[in-house]
Homo-oligomer: A and B are copies of this chain.
Amino acid sequence: MHSANVGFAGLGAMGRGMARNLHRAGLLRAVWNRTRSGADALAEELGVAVATDPALASECEVIVLCVSADADVLAVVDALLPGLRPGALVIDCSTVSADTAREAARRVAAHGGEFLDAPVSGGVEGARDGTLAIMAGGSDAAFASAQHALQAMGRTITHFGPNGSGQAAKATNQIMCAGIIQAVAEAMAFAKAQGLPLPQLIETLGKGAGSSWYFVNRAPNIVRDSFPAGFRVRLHEKDLRICREMAGRFGVELPLVETTLAHYQQLIAQGHGDEDISVLFRLKDALFTPAAAGGAPRGSA
């Protein structure tokens, strides 16, 4: 049994669920959030302390981060450093680039701590239910020390290698999602134009070799013409910009990444940024019915 030695920084929609699961496991000692009010509400609910960030570091042996962007990870890490205990472990569950993970790891190591990049997938539901997939990068020792915290938050926990490799695995997943949502959206727009009964089509093709998690779980959004998040266009767009940057290090432009970024930027401009990525269907559908969709030129999506 571990004592309550975990601090949590970043209480967004994901972070709140993860912090609650750390609390349920008897591990959570303190929370911190950029906007104080978010931290106060959760701290009151759970009966844990609200910390200023350096204090979080000095009170906890393990600090879990879950923030939005590369710059946020480095800013929070820098704020934690002055109070960091010797041998403390920083676990970053944000989705950022592998370079940012390696840079954060260097800064933490320079203060005598250890760093694990541990981005997650499974969405808000997975964070709430403690069923996240967690992709970890860091030393064997850091991965071992993180076990109690990771197991409180996730179900499939994999160690891929040194710092950065957790982020690389997550980026791989996000590239795959880009191709799959292209596949589902383009195929369903074609099917609709052919006059096929879409619910039966989803039922049948969902059992076949062309099936995917997204098709089975999100193609019904297309039938309902309603795309509640889900995986927001805005967040996948952010992740794909990370993938673009990581591929760019090899001088490579990845076609699915580039195409999907262009489509998402169009969708965000049209006000669909906070809908599920299955809303990409609208752009593909507009190829077949340009008038109904406000005159988008054929062949453009």
Contact = CB atoms under 8 A, between A and B. Distances in A.
B179 A194 contact: no
Interface string A239-265: 000010011001111111101000000
A41 B143 CA distance: 61
A211 B196 CA distance: 25
Given A190-B254, A201-B172, A196 B243 contact: no
Contact of A208 (B210, B213, B246, B257): B213
Interface residues of A, number: 69
Contact of A301 (B211, B243, B255): B255
Given A186-B255, A212-B212, A160 B196 contact: yes
Given A175-B186, A250-B288, A195 B231 contact: no
A282 B281 CA distance: 29
A276 to B, nearest CB: 11
A226 interface: no
Interface string A150-192: 0000001010110001001101111111111011101110110
Contacts of A186: 175-176, 179, 254-257
Nearest to A167: B194
A176 B255 contact: no
Nearest to A120: B208
25 contacts: A133-B207, A133-B208, A135-B204, A156-B204, A161-B195, A165-B194, A169-B205, A172-B196, A173-B209, A176-B183, A176-B187, A176-B212, A177-B183, A180-B180, A180-B210, A182-B183, A186-B254, A190-B246, A190-B247, A210-B214, A211-B213, A212-B212, A252-B287, A254-B287, A255-B259
